[in-house]
């Protein structure tokens, strides 16, 4: 948000405030999302992605990351957002979901922050289904809304369609 790239950790709340989540926030278009930092393996710059024939529409392809081939998800496609050209801020967030490693492309990584559970509200019901199914909640941070995603629901590999 500040154009300086990711900050380390903001200490907005002290431990006496109850359960505090550590989150990585990122941008997709005009929206800011966050995921639990415990699932994040690393954040890398956009690298060359090898397409995979007959993959789902949102799978961009695979990359070789230190000897491991991992699938790369285009989160814009997954959320039905229009495609944009990558920029110098485009990143791949590498996560572990259900004992599998995968990466997903975001427009930019904003910051690592701490957010007390009590400021997180349940996700609003839009009646559309789809992306509502993987929202954990909505947090309020300095007057802006942060949509918390559930990686297991978003990328759940054991889900049966």
* Total number of residues shown for the chain: 161
Range with lowest mean pLDDT among 62-66, 118-122, 128-132, 157-161 = 157-161
DSSP 58-78: TEEEEEEETTEEEEEEEHHHH
Q: What is the pLDDT of residue 126?
A: 62
Q: Which residue has the higher pLDDT, 10 or 72?
A: 72
Distance CA 24, CA 110 (A): 8
Q: Which H or E element spans position 152? A: helix 151-155
User: What band does 49 get if pLDDT is binned at 50, 70 and 90?
Assistant: very high
Question: Given a cut of 50, is residue 142 above it in pLDDT?
Answer: yes
Q: Full-prediction pTM beyond 0.85?
A: no
DSSP letter (8 states) at residue 76: H
CATH T-level assignment (fold) for domain 7-155: OB fold (Dihydrolipoamide Acetyltransferase, E2P) (2.40.50)
pLDDT digits (tens, 9 = 90+) for 33-47: 999 999 999 999 999
pLDDT digits (tens, 9 = 90+) for 98-113: 889 999 999 999 999 9
């Amino acid at each position: 948000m500040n154009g300086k790239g990711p900050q380390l950790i903001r200490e907005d709340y002290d431990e006496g405030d109850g359960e505090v989540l550590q989150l990585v926030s990122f941008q997709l278009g005009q929206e800011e999302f966050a995921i639990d930092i415990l699932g994040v393996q690393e954040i890398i710059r956009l690298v060359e992605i090898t397409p995979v024939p007959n993959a789902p529409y949102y799978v961009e392809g695979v990359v070789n990351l230190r000897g491991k081939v991992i699938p790369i998800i285009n989160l814009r496609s997954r959320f039905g957002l229009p495609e944009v050209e990558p920029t110098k801020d485009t990143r791949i967030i590498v996560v572990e979901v259900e004992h599998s490693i995968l990466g997903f492309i975001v427009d930019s990584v904003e910051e690592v922050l701490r957010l007390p559970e009590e400021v997180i509200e349940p996700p609003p019901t839009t009646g559309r289904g789809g992306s509502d199914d993987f929202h954990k909640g909505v947090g309020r941070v300095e007057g802006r809304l942060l949509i918390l995603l559930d990686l297991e629901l978003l990328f759940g590999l054991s889900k049966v369609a």
